[in-house]
Amino acid sequence: MWKPRVAIAGAVAVILVVVLGITVTHIGAEASPYELPWAAGELHSVLQGNSRFDDANQCISGCSTHNDDSMRFAFDFDLPEGTPVLAARAGTVALANGSWPGDHCVSAAEAEDGGSVVLGNETNFVEIDHGDGTSALYLHLSEVSASIERKAKTGEPVEQGEVLGLSGKTGFTQCVPHLHFQVQGSVRADWFTTSLPASFADHDVIARTTDGVPVEGQSYDSDNVPIAESR
Q: Which residues bind Zn ion (CB under 5 A)?
A: 74, 76, 180
The strand pairing partners of 97, in sequence order, are 125
**Closest chain position to Zn ion (CB):** 180
Neighbours of 29 (CB within 10 A): 18
Report, in Å, the least distance between residue 65 CB and Zn ion: 6
Report, in Å, the least distance between residue 64 CB and Zn ion: 8
Q: Is-contact 164 115, C-beta < 8 A?
A: no
CA quadruple 187, 189, 194, 199: dihedral sign: positive
Report, in Å, the least distance between residue 78 CB and Zn ion: 11
Nearer to Zn ion, 151 or 180 (CB): 180
Nearer to Zn ion, 157 or 197 (CB): 197
d(Cα 74, Cα 69) in Å, to the nearest integer? Answer: 10
Report, in Å, the least distance between residue 88 CB and Zn ion: 15
Chain mean position to CA 65: 18
Nearer to Zn ion, 119 or 207 (CB): 119
Nearer to Zn ion, 74 or 163 (CB): 74
Report, in Å, the least distance between residue 217 CB and Zn ion: 15
Chain mean position to CA 193: 16
Nearer to Zn ion, 74 or 205 (CB): 74
d(Cα 83, Cα 102) in Å, to the nearest integer? Answer: 13
Report, in Å, the least distance between residue 137 CB and Zn ion: 10
**Nearest C-alpha neighbor of 196 from the set 59, 45, 50, 93:** 50
DSSP state of 88: S
Nearer to Zn ion, 95 or 176 (CB): 176
d(Cα 165, Cα 124) in Å, to the nearest integer? Answer: 9
Q: Looking only at Cα atoms, what is the longest distance across the chain? A: 87
